[in-house]
Amino acid sequence: MRSTSFRTARRASPMSVRKFGVGVLMMGLAMTASAKDGTSSVSKDQAPSTKVPAGPEQQASANSSHAKAESSHARSRRWLEVGVASWYGSHFQGRRTAGGEQFDMNMMTCAHPTLPMGTWLRVTNLRNRRTAYVRVNDRGPVTDGRIVDLSYAAARTLGLAGLGKVRLEAVGESDPDLAKALLAQLQMPMLLGPMVP
């Protein structure tokens, strides 16, 4: 029986693929900039060259570079809101929230007029700098001039006796500070050691 050996094409190193992707991205940005100000890099005497379609590796590299640039831009635009907070407690205990849950004043939850149900927020009391993490599970506040209604437990954690000025920041479920806060609220020992961001 005759053995046949197959040679595979040598793969480009990840660094060279990244460099190529960055080069393609920079060229695209330069072309976009020249199109915006009305100039062209091709003189009138030259005939435009035909465009050679990029191979799958080049397209994947360019898409990867574009996705990284978009994700870093999205990280820099973090949602936040500053305004007056209030709280609600025993009068609403056990009633159904807009999210369909039973309201429990001893849980770390809040009511917000527009954020999607289940959104996690880092709430900072701007007077004493205490922070708490709460989950949106209701709609409100019903009083004008307020941005959030906190549960009794959240207000107590923040040291908010009545009304107070707060900063709301949306956080992702994978945020390490959120995980630490939830573990602390459950009063469980950290079995895996400190979390690395």
The span from the CA of 58 to the CA of 22, in Å, is 10
Do the domain assignments include residue 48? Answer: no
Same domain, 67 and 99: no
Q: Give me Rg for the CA atoms of the chain.
A: 27
Q: What residue type is assigned to position 9 of the chain? A: A
Same domain, 162 and 101: yes
Structure tokens at 161: 């006796």
Same domain, 91 and 64: no
Nearest to 151 by CA among 95, 109, 94: 109
How many domains does the chain fold into? 2
Do the domain assignments include residue 27? Answer: yes
Domain of 22, in residue numbers: 16-33+58-77
Same domain, 95 and 66: no
Neighbours of 97 (CB within 10 A): 18
pLDDT at site 54? 52
Neighbours of 113 (CB within 10 A): 13
Same domain, 111 and 25: no
Question: pTM score > 0.75 for this model?
Answer: no
Do the domain assignments include residue 52? Answer: no
Same domain, 68 and 91: no
Same domain, 67 and 132: no
Same domain, 27 and 93: no
Nearest to 141 by CA among 94, 85, 91, 97: 85
CATH number, domain at 114?
A: 2.40.40.10
pLDDT in tens, the chain (197 residues): 555 544 444 555 555 545 555 454 555 445 544 444 444 444 444 444 444 445 555 555 555 555 555 544 445 468 899 999 999 999 999 999 999 999 999 999 999 999 999 999 999 999 999 999 999 999 999 889 999 999 999 999 999 989 999 999 999 888 888 888 887 766 544 444 444 44
- Which contiguous run of DSSP H or E holds residue 186? helix 176-186
Do the domain assignments include residue 3? Answer: no
